[in-house]
Chain A
Amino acid sequence: DGGITQSPKYLFRKEGQNVTLSCEQNLNHDAMYWYRQDPGQGLRLIYYSQIVNDFQKGDIAEGYSVSREKKESFPLTVTSAQKNPTAFYLCASSQNRVYGYTFGSGTRLTVV
């Protein structure tokens, strides 16, 4: 079954630590995206990648980093520079804009 998998579902991080969120897709989609959802804020774009070995900053990239070494994988690192990292993080992939995005089930990150 084709899909997009995010892991872990829940993640706890101590202040000052970096943490990496995993996103894997087997849909053969070229484009992948990371969004952050906060209450009342909707979905805000962190980073996106249209092709392997290339990625672009979204609206709220500060304090985050990504890599795209493989078509299937687009991990997101939340660094200690991110001031308010507690949020629900969503990964998505897309083949073309007509079909929209396929989303993963999300990772809830909590800083303790």
Chain B
Amino acid sequence: DQQVKQNSPSLSVQEGRISILNCDYTNSMFDYFLWYKKYPAEGPTFLISISSIKDKNEDGRFTVFLNKSAKHLSLHIVPSQPGDSAVYFCAASARYGGSQGNLIFGKGTKLSVKP
């Protein structure tokens, strides 16, 4: 059973507009969430993270929102740029539990930003 779900396999937006990538989770023990960006044939790179004690974290054009009651987080990219075109993975970890703090990844959302 998937504990981290990214229900949109792909997303296409126009350059300059906002990109919103969504992620849902089922494990209430998760208390730390991260977003990774991945280009083809490369390893994922860390983008932004958020702890469960917060509901928002910003870093430049990237903002992550966390709604704990809905077990939902989203990544906002404003403004979107063609170089943002990549696969974005949502990941979560729990301080306690059998996963020993390991990251659990969603299946990813492929973002295409059109000029």
Residues of A within 8 A of B (CB): 4, 6, 33, 35, 40-43, 45, 48, 50, 56, 88, 90, 92, 96-98, 100-106, 108
Contacts and interface: CB of A to CB of B under 8 A. Distances in A.
Query: What does DSSP make chain A's interface, helix, strand, loop or mixed?
Result: strand
Given A43-B89, A50-B100, A103 B105 contact: no
B46 A90 contact: no
Contacts of A50: 100
Contacts of B89: 42-43
B41 A108 contact: yes
B107 A105 contact: no
23 contacts: A33-B102, A35-B105, A40-B9, A42-B6, A42-B107, A43-B44, A43-B89, A43-B105, A43-B108, A45-B102, A56-B100, A90-B43, A90-B44, A97-B32, A98-B32, A98-B49, A100-B49, A101-B46, A101-B103, A103-B45, A105-B41, A105-B42, A106-B43
